[in-house]
């Protein structure tokens, strides 16, 4: 029951997964990233130092943890190189404790170029990390996997074919000429790969056979899932629980004994385009952004902010079968007189209680709010339940009752030690209940 823990974003990303994964990695042997790529930005503040991890599993910051980049990820070798260099500079060795799947696909320079070009027309507001095009190539059967890098002839012909295809798109669709040289890309790819060849292996086999404790670290969030999120304003992978099996190459049955936790902010943010029913565009939105420091960890863009959307959160709870929620950034609400929570949508006079698929419905839906009284006391840095004001406890209870699952932990600040356990996790000894 307690050997596998899955941590997923329950909203539109940036819920504070990095902080939570870092904290809980203390109790796990292995941390696995299995979807997305360097579009993620997972922030950890530990021992006074700030780390933002994009591609590497967050657990890698702990010396005892093995980090796994599983097959569902798309890997940018430049970012891998930069992040590992960053670890080396901070004196964190990763020798013998980082594994990269031979089935993972590469993000190539021309994917980043295409991301920029596509973005001119789509308005999705991607992170421009080449993620969408890399998955397009994967599913279009034009992708390059790490396993292909040892076969130089095959690699060259794949790159040559890709470059010709991309040049065609640039010229014929976007009327732009780009200097893409297959030979140079081939040489540069091999050079980068040669540094990290030793990390590459069949990680599905590793995960299947190991008896170590496993923490699976989702990136993005449920509402950005390519199938179940606010399509097309989503990322290009399954960032809900749906991505676990295809992202790791393991049967859904492998996860049947895992504990599933959703990380949710006490309010809502999203970055990039797309529907956001509880968005606050005026002063209140700015206040949340300022108090929460809501600027993207990957792109620095200001995040759109709004009240907690319980319709979306309940949808995420049901979709992922969450056993519990970890609530973050409650401290950001400390100074509000009143706090609103969205309990339904009003679509042209009709009350909707389930998150709809239709963009048209979402875009025209107005939030139906309940208003709760603010607690007007600092919860920042609280470590025990008894330090929380009654208003904050009521807010948490409201969320539990609405979603039907317990809030098992509260994060009370960005730093590693700022949290309160509210319930016991099977794997973890709880001292502060």
Q: Where in the sequence numbering do the catalytic residues fall?
A: 14, 42
By CB under 6 A, residue 229 contacts ligand IMO: no
Angle between helices 152-168 and 182-196 (to 10 degrees): 130
Binding at 132: pick from ligand GDP, Mg ion, ligand IMO, none (beta carbon under 5-8 Å per type): ligand IMO
Nearer to ligand GDP, 155 or 316 (CB): 316
Cα→Cα distances 260→111, 228, 246, Å: 33, 17, 17
**Contact status, residue 238 vs residue 137, Cβ threshold 8 Å:** no
Shortest distance in whole angstroms from residue 14 CB to ligand GDP: 4
Select from 9, 36, 37, 41 the one that contacts Mg ion (CB under 5 A): 41
d(CA 150, CA 354): 49
By CB under 6 A, residue 31 contacts ligand IMO: no
Nearer to Mg ion, 109 or 229 (CB): 229
Q: Which of the ranges 7-15, 152-160, 177-185, 401-409 carries the binding residues for ligand IMO, by CB under 6 A?
A: 7-15
d(CA 25, CA 18): 10
Angle between helices 152-168 and 109-122 (to 10 degrees): 20
Select from 236, 268, 297, 320 the one that contacts Mg ion (CB under 5 A): 297
To which H or E segment does residue 137 belong? helix 131-139
d(CA 23, CA 326): 12
Cα→Cα distances 205→2, 99, 147, 202, Å: 21, 12, 15, 6
Shortest distance in whole angstroms from residue 36 CB to ligand GDP: 10
Binding at 39: pick from ligand IMO, ligand GDP, Mg ion, none (beta carbon under 5-8 Å per type): ligand IMO
CB neighbourhood size of 402 (10 A)? 17
Nearer to ligand GDP, 88 or 380 (CB): 380
Nearer to ligand IMO, 17 or 62 (CB): 17
Partners of 345 in the β-ladder: 352, 367
- 292-298: long-range contacts (C-beta < 8 A, 24 or more apart)? 292/265, 292/267, 292/329, 292/332, 294/14, 294/269, 296/14, 296/41, 296/127, 296/271, 297/14, 297/18, 297/41, 297/42, 297/43, 297/52, 298/38, 298/39, 298/40, 298/41, 298/52, 298/54, 298/127, 298/129
To which H or E segment does residue 216 belong? strand 214-217
By CB under 6 A, residue 132 contacts ligand IMO: yes
Shortest distance in whole angstroms from residue 297 CB to ligand GDP: 4
Nearer to ligand GDP, 40 or 182 (CB): 40
By CB under 6 A, residue 13 contacts ligand IMO: yes
By CB under 6 A, residue 365 contacts ligand IMO: no
Nearer to ligand GDP, 5 or 199 (CB): 5
By CB under 6 A, residue 133 contacts ligand IMO: no
Shortest distance in whole angstroms from residue 217 CB to Mg ion: 12
Binding at 45: pick from ligand GDP, Mg ion, ligand IMO, none (beta carbon under 5-8 Å per type): ligand GDP
Select from 215, 224, 242, 342 the one that contacts ligand IMO (CB under 6 A): 224
By CB under 6 A, residue 411 contacts ligand IMO: no
Residues contributing to the site for ligand GDP (CB under 6 A) = 9, 13-19, 41-43, 45, 293, 297, 328-329, 331-332, 411-414
d(CA 278, CA 132): 27
By CB under 6 A, residue 126 contacts ligand IMO: yes
State the residue number with the nearest CB to ligand IMO: 272
Cα→Cα distances 140→162, 203, 218, Å: 11, 24, 24
Binding at 332: pick from ligand IMO, Mg ion, ligand GDP, none (beta carbon under 5-8 Å per type): ligand GDP
Pick from 192, 214, 239, 222: which is nearest to 72 by CA?
A: 239
Angle between helices 109-122 and 131-139 (to 10 degrees): 110
Contact letters (x/-) for ligand IMO, 268-297, by CB under 6 A? ---xx------------------------x
Three-state DSSP state, 215: strand
Nearer to ligand GDP, 189 or 238 (CB): 238
d(CA 7, CA 165): 38
Pick from 293, 276, 369: which is nearest to 331 by CA?
A: 293
H-helix segments, 64-130: 77-89, 109-122
By CB under 6 A, residue 9 contacts ligand IMO: yes
Shortest distance in whole angstroms from residue 40 CB to Mg ion: 6
Nearer to ligand GDP, 104 or 224 (CB): 224
Select from 220, 230, 248, 365 the one that contacts ligand IMO (CB under 6 A): 220
Q: Which residues bind ligand IMO (CB under 6 A)?
A: 9, 13-14, 39-42, 124-127, 129, 131-132, 219-221, 224, 235-236, 271-272, 297
Q: Which residues bind Mg ion (CB under 5 A)?
A: 14, 41, 297
């Amino acid at each position: 029951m307690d050997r596998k823990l899955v941590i997923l974003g329950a909203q539109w990303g940036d819920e504070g997964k990095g902080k939570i994964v870092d904290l809980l990695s203390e109790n796990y042997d292995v941390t696995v990233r299995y979807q997305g790529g360097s579009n993620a930005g997972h922030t950890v503040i530990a021992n006074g130092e700030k780390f933002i991890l994009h591609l590497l599993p967050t657990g890698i910051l702990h010396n005892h943890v093995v980090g796994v980049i599983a097959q569902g990820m798309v890997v940018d070798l430049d970012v891998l190189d930069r992040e590992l260099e960053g670890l080396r500079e901070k004196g964190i060795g990763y020798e013998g404790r980082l594994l990269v799947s031979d089935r993972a696909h590469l993000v190539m320079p021309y994917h980043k170029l295409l991301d920029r070009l596509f973005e001119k027309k789509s308005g999705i507001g991607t992170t421009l990390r080449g993620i969408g095009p890399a998955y397009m190539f994967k599913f279009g059967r034009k992708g390059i996997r790490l396993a292909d890098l040892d076969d130089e002839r095959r690699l060259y012909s794949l790159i040559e074919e890709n470059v010709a295809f991309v040049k065609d798109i640039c010229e014929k669709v976007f009327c732009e000429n780009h200097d893409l040289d297959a030979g140079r890309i081939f040489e540069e790819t091999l050079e980068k790969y040669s540094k990290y060849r030793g990390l590459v292996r069949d990680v599905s086999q590793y995960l299947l056979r190991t008896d170590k404790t496993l923490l699976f670290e989702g990136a993005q969030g449920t509402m950005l899932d390519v199938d179940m999120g606010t399509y097309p304003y989503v990322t290009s992978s399954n960032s809900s629980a749906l991505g676990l099996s295809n992202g790791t190459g393991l049967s859904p049955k492998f996860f049947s004994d895992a504990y599933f936790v959703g990380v949710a902010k006490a309010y809502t943010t999203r970055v990039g385009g797309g529907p956001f029913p509880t968005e606050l565009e005026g002063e209140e939105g700015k206040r949340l952004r300022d108090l929460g420091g809501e600027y993207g960890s990957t792109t620095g863009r200001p995040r759109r902010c709004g009240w907690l959307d319980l319709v979306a959160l309940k949808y995420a709870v049901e979709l992922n079968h969450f056993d519990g929620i970890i609530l973050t950034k409650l401290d950001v609400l400390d100074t509000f007189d009143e706090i609103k929570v969205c309990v339904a949508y009003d679509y042209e006079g009709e009350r909707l209680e389930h998150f709809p698929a239709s963009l048209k419905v979402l875009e025209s839906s107005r939030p139906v709010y309940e208003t709760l009284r603010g607690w007007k006391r600092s919860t920042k840095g609280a470590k025990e339940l008894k330090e929380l004001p009654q208003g904050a406890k009521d807010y948490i209870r409201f969320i539990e009752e609405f979603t039907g699952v317990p809030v098992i932990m509260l994060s009370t600040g960005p730093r590693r030690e700022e949290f309160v356990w509210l319930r016991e996790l099977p794997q973890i000894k709880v001292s502060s209940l």
